[in-house]
A and B are shown apart, each in its own frame.
Chain A
Amino acid sequence: EPEVTQTPSHQVTQMGQEVILRCVPISNHLYFYWYRQILGQKVEFLVSFYNNEISEKSEIFDDQFSVERPDGSNFTLKIRSTKLEDSAMYFCASSPVGTGDQPQHFGDGTRLSIL
């Protein structure tokens, strides 16, 4: 069964450094998302992306965050200057576009640890 893949599985970064998290969505999906889950807390929406532009973003997704679809298969989340509170699991999701059920399918996440 097709799946969303994310790399790396674990990223350790010094505070203030830039980090890029990578995702390969399911191939025929056109809607892409990033969520995060701080340890012990709910999964929270960050941003959705469709047709090469941001569809919606949350309050968390401030100027330190950016997303990009650099080619036909990858979808990236960049955090420009990481803070301690950015430590979390980051999940990428994708969904198809069209009629019928369009649920979001998630990858296994990248665990981001900020030191």
Chain B
Amino acid sequence: QKEVEQDPGPLSVPEGAIVSLNCTYSNSAFQYFMWYRQYSRKGPELLMYTYSSGNKEDGRFTAQVDKSSKYISLFIRDSQPSDSATYLCAMSADSWGKLQFGAGTQVVVTP
């Protein structure tokens, strides 16, 4: 079983829709959960950082962590064409530890 699973997509949504992304994981030691956005030929850009279970909101972005189900989600409200990118989930057991990444989900927001 892969340590972090993420549907690669592509996920195509119309402008203004809610984008829903998720990852599942198998390692119960993971405590720190991140979402990164990656544009073509660029590095991962941090969007959300969450410790343990719960919700976190930042502008149009909401991250949810359910450690009991080993499931994390990212929601993007009022999606824009500029949100078109690959979204990577990442997680680690320690605050400074190595990140384990998902495969990334390609999102396309059409005008």
A residues near B (Cβ < 8 Å) are: 4, 6, 31, 33, 35, 41-45, 48, 50, 55-56, 58, 91, 95, 97, 101-109, 111
Contacts and interface: CB of A to CB of B under 8 A. Distances in A.
Most buried by A among B45, B96, B100: B96
Interface residues of B, number: 22
The binding surface of chain A is classed by DSSP as strand
A91 B96 contact: no
Most buried by A among B46, B97, B98: B98
Contact of A108 (B36, B42, B88, B98): B42
6 contacts: A4-B43, A44-B101, A56-B97, A106-B45, A107-B43, A109-B43
Contacts, number: 56
Top 6 nearest A-B pairs by Cβ distance? A106-B43, A45-B98, A43-B101, A103-B49, A108-B43, A106-B44
Interface of B: 34, 36, 41-46, 49, 51, 88, 90, 95-104
A41 to B, nearest CB: 8
Contacts of A50: 96
